[in-house]
Amino acid sequence: MPTEQLANDLASIVGERFVLRRPTELLVYNSDGLPGYRRQPRLAVFPGTREQAIEVVRTLARDGAPFVPRGAGTGLSGGALADDVVLLGMHRMKRVLNVDADNRRATVEPGVVNLHLNRLAGPLGLLYAPDPSSEAACTIGGNIAENAGGPHCLKYGVTLNHILAITAILPDGEIVKLGSDTGEREGYDLLGAFIGSEGCFGLALDVTVKLTKKPPTVRTMLADFTSVDDAAKVTSSIIASGIVPAALEFMDSGTIRVVESSIYAAGYPADAAAVLLIELDGLTAGVEADVAVVRDLCISGGAREVKIASNDAERLRLWQGRKKAFGAMGRMSPHLVVQDAVIPRTKLAEVLATITRIAAKHNITVCNVFHAGDGNLHPNIPYNADDLAESERVHQAMQEIMGACVDAGGSITGEHGVGLDKLNYIELIFSPDSLQAMCNMRSAFDPDRRANPGKVVPVHSCQEWKSTPAFGRETSGAVA
Amino acid sequence: MTAAIQDAVREAGELRAPLRIVAGESWLDAGRPVKANRVLSVGDLSGIVDYVPSDLTITVRAGTRLSEIERATRENGQWFPVNPFGTSEATIGASVATASSGPLSHGFGAIRDLVLGFEAVTGDAKVIRGGGRVVKNVAGFDLVRLMTGSWGTLGVITELTLRLYGLPYNRRTVAIEAPTDARKLAERLRALRDAPVIPFALELLNATAARKVGLPPRQIILVELGGNNAAVDSQIDALKNFGTLIDGSAEMWDALRKPEAGEQIVFRVSGLPALLPERWERTSRVALSSENATMHASIGRGTVRCILTSDPGVAVLDQLSAPDANDTLILERAPATWWTKISPSAVDNRVSQNLKRGFDPLGILNPGILGPVN
């Protein structure tokens, strides 16, 4: 169907205002949170209700039009970039449908902003645990697409562990219930398969999330070190002690300096080589005992000082520096790559040293601010994407950093997803047969592969999907 | 060793000979409707492949028994906090394949929350891997969640990487008497949920179950607490507000998990946690159909598990349904005649059928175990 006609059809569903077709209007949707990439959508459509979303997906299906779902566009792997295909924005669907404090769950539309959900749950003594740094902007739908994490996922788990059910619309327009918002469900874990599928399996229409009882006591501490190596080793020793902190975050000197010179200054010691932001929560008596153990581990591991927040204001200030570190880095350069990789927690010191060597070799700056407790690294590189030579150096360094993480037994992404950015790296960790299995998963949800085409698994890894059942019927069927 | 499994699957494919995948063989008599003429066992595929205690991760072969994982990790002050119903002689492969969890899922999540990676042989004899050996990973589509709970129908799991925890300094089990009146029980459970306790496990036991674990035969709540001494002591104090505490032991949980001699029918009913008292009452009516039926429930998850030692006929389950309850019934063990009536198919939707077709194109892996595939 010609684009103009498709746009008219979509406008008849959502209203003219919510279909963008002119290049100038689409400009803002040419990029997402990943710098250095621009893709021009064919057009953009923004349904405001469940009915409209269903009708939009079905119209696209009738036309055979590929599309890219998008939440708030805060993703850092280019997953929401639409290259001459329809961009389907879900952020207008932001109703909270139900908060059930008795059963500790809430049902929301996919466009609800993560922090907004927490503002509703908070007064009930509950919280929605996954807390990506972009929590003030990112949507639950986007969190599901990326299986988003955050600092507190160390103790509480990632998005996957907090979603009970999803009503989804598959790319062909069929509506399916994944998981169960009441009890257990037998059969394949389609809910688990859908979470983290980066918009390739369909769109969530509503989501039932688990809410967690707020811990009675939260203690936040800051340990500062004169050596990166010591901070890394203390991280490993805290994990090895068996205590599970609610969060265990690492910031290096580059990050500290940037934060402290910004409006987000958190009182981190400016001369430290690294700080660890450690939060313990739970029952009051138990937490105090663990605080003492962790403090001892920090001091005996070489910490100069361990500062413990004495009230909520101090606690929030310590966190502000961490949560706004990426924003603070915006002052350093026009662009910032927020990289994401995971390594075994015993390899922290070793890999951080390697990253420093790689940065020096390519004459780039790396600021490390990451979820140390999970081994989830975020080497961030401030740079100017319009400077082609610098971009090339950044690209080269990135590739070497990924290689180092994979060599250490790690993964190419812990919470940002593969998207477009990491397509070239996924073959470093999965064999052709494993990638083919992932293609089979995708084809089970979207046989035509129209949803978020070209993302997550390289196209050349996927053989042709065979839609005709090939297996013998005589071997299947229940016993009477 | 994976190569041997791969060869066996390839041969079965060439002969179009469906396979029944087994490991510890403890639940083979559960009555599941599998149509297969060959058995493929991963039981001999056992042992630890890699264990780095400081990373709190372990990689083991699928036929490794839970008891072996327990032994190896305990030496390093760690544990894999999963205790599925059955015994610790069950294998990790079967536990993951069947998504089996036990009382500890209250505090640590279900087994799907603790599996980090796997290796498996698919129905077309390909060796695939999903996830990895790190604790956080979103690289590619989530094959780990897909394989967990797929009952061997998408692939034969050969290896698993698991997330471990540090053993708590202190662990204590205590019991509190529970009111039998539904309304009073509801009040008690609500108060418990709001109390300053974060238990590892929290189960409601009927009188038979209480006797089975060695307690006086009365309806009780069995609680497992863990953590440092201060955390455990403060929770004991909080629980004292609910009545006299009866001292328990870790062995009580093993006794609760252990299959009973002569158990015929085991099923679970789950639904909204706040509606557990009503669900418990409805299940109690079914339990009356069998002498000394054992019942216990995960209070946090709202799931009731019921064990009958005689077969009262499948119609007895009609009493479980309530107009607005929207509960789910899952059979664990039952005569063959029950399955078709209760669980016609857990995979009767299009996506599941497509998955089966993609991973097992010849339909040779445990055909029918989750119901018919068309």
Looking at per-residue confidence, does A181 or A76 come out higher? A76
Chain B positions in Cβ-Cβ contact with residue A75 (cut-off 8 Å): none
- pLDDT (0 to 100) of residue A129: 97
On chain B, the residues whose CB falls within 8 A of the CB of A147 are 138, 142
Question: How confident is the model over A251-303, as pLDDT tens digits?
Answer: 999 999 999 999 999 999 999 999 999 999 999 999 999 999 999 999 999 99
The pLDDT value given to residue B374? 45
Q: Give the other-Cβ count within 10 Å of B190's Cβ.
A: 13
The dihedral region occupied by B41, where left means phi > 0, alpha psi between -120 and 50, and beta the remainder, is beta
Overall CATH class of domain B259-340:
alpha beta
Contacts of A200 in chain B (CB under 8 A): 141
**C-alpha count within 13 angstroms, C-beta hemisphere, residue B98:** 28
Q: How would residue A464 be classed by pLDDT, with cut points 50, 70 and 90?
A: low
Query: Does A476 have pLDDT greater than 70?
Result: no
Amino acid at A272: A
CB pair distance less than 8 Å for A479 and B340 = yes
Q: How far away is chain A from the Cα of B246, in angstroms, using its nearest Cα?
A: 22
Query: B26 to chain A, minimum CA–CA distance in Å?
Result: 20
A positions 49-88 inside 8 Å of B (CB): none
**Over chain A, what is the mean pLDDT?**
93
Cβ separation of A476 and B134 shorter than 8 Å? no
Q: How far apart are CA B302 and CA A51, in angstroms?
A: 33
Q: Per-residue confidence of chain B (374 residues) as pLDDT tens digits?
A: 899 999 999 999 999 999 999 998 887 778 888 889 899 999 999 999 999 999 999 999 999 999 999 999 999 999 999 999 999 999 999 999 999 999 999 999 999 999 999 999 999 999 999 999 999 999 999 999 999 999 999 999 999 999 999 999 999 999 999 999 989 999 999 999 889 999 999 999 999 999 999 999 999 999 999 999 999 999 999 999 999 999 999 999 999 999 988 889 999 999 999 999 999 999 999 999 888 899 999 999 999 999 999 999 988 888 888 777 789 999 999 988 888 777 667 788 999 999 999 999 999 999 999 887 64
Please name the residue of chain B whose CA is at the shortest distance from the CA of residue A188. B150
- DSSP letter (8 states) at residue B260: P
Chain B residues with CB under 8 Å of A416 CB are 138
- Searching chain A, which residue's CA lies closest to the CA of residue B108? A156
What is the reported pLDDT for B345? 76
Q: Check residue B35 and give its pLDDT.
A: 87
Check whether A331 has a pLDDT greater than 90.
Answer: no
Q: Do domains B2-166 and B259-340 have the same CATH topology?
A: no
- Show which of residues 341-360 on chain B sit within 8 Å of chain A, judged by CB atoms: 343-347, 349-352, 354-355, 357-360
Mutate one of B38, B58, B134, B280 to test the A interface: name it (highest A CB count within 10 A): B134
Matching residue, tokens 């070497």: A400
pLDDT band at residue A471, thresholds of 50, 70 and 90? very low
Of B35, B113, B227, the CB nearest to A475: B35
A 181-240 → B contacts, CB under 8 A: 182-193, 195-197, 200, 213, 216, 236, 239-240
Q: Note whether B303 contacts A183, CB cutoff 8 Å.
A: yes
Amino acid at A228: V
Model pTM?
0.96
- Domain boundaries of chain B, sorted by first residue: 2-166, 171-242, 259-340
Longest CA–CA span in chain B (Å) reads: 65
- pLDDT of A474 strictly over 90: no
Tokens of B218: 């009365």
CB atoms A184 and B362 under 8 Å:
no
Average pLDDT of the residues in A31-49: 94
> What mean pLDDT do residues A310-322 have?
93
DSSP string, B310-353: S---GGGGGGG--TTT--EEEEEE--HHHHHHH-S-SS-SHHHH
Those residues whose C-beta lies under 8 Å from the C-beta of residue B47, and which sit 6 or more positions away, are B60, B61, B64, B68
Measured in angstroms, the CA of A410 and the nearest CA of chain B are apart by 6
Instruction: Mark which residues 160-189 of A lie under 8 Å from B by CB.
Output: 160-161, 170, 174, 176, 180, 182-189
Q: Is B35 on the interface with A (CB under 8 A)?
A: yes
Determine the pLDDT at residue A479.
30
**Span A15-30, mean pLDDT?**
96
> B 139-198 residues with CB below 8 A of A?
139-146, 148-150, 154, 165-168, 190, 193, 196-198
Burial A336-366 (b: 16+ CB within 10 A, else e): bbbbbbbbbbbbbbebbebbeebbeebebeb
Taking residues A222-237, what's their average pLDDT?
94
Q: Would you call A282 and B227 a contact, using CB atoms and an 8 Å cutoff?
A: yes
Output the DSSP codes for B186-249.
HHHHHHHHHSS---SEEEEE-HHHHHHTTS-SS-EEEEEEEESHHHHHHHHHHHGGGSPEEE--
pLDDT tens for residues A352-401? 999 999 999 999 999 999 999 999 999 999 999 899 999 999 999 999 99
Residue of A nearest to B31 (CA): A479
Most A CBs within 10 Å: which of B106, B138, B167, B360, as the mutation test of the A interface? B138
Chains A, B: CB contacts within 8 A come to 307
Q: Does domain B2-166 have CATH number 3.20.20.210?
A: no
Bridge-based pairing of strands B201-205 and B170-177 is unpaired
Cβ distance of B141 and A290 shorter than 8 Å: no
Hey, is the C-beta of A5 within 8 angstroms of any chain B C-beta? no
The encoded tokens of residue A297 equal: 């581990």
Residue A222 has pLDDT above 60, yes or no: yes
Q: How far is B154 from chain A (nearest CA, A)?
A: 9
CA–CA separation, A420 and A368 (whole Å): 23
Q: Which of residues 69-108 of B touch A (CB under 8 A)?
A: 77-78, 99
Question: Tell me, what's the pLDDT at B343?
Answer: 62
Q: Is B114 on the interface with A (CB under 8 A)?
A: no
- The residue in chain B having the minimum alpha-carbon distance to the alpha carbon of residue A418 is B139
| Inter-chain touch A436–B126, beta carbons under 8 Å | yes
- CB pair distance less than 8 Å for B228 and A443: no
Q: Closest approach of chain A CAs to the CA of B254, in angstroms?
A: 23
Q: pLDDT digit string (tens) for A94-127?
A: 999 999 999 999 999 999 999 999 999 999 999 9
Burial (Cβ within 10 Å: 0-12, 13-18, ≥19) of residue B226: buried
Q: B357, B313, B373, B372: which is closest to B338 by C-alpha?
A: B313
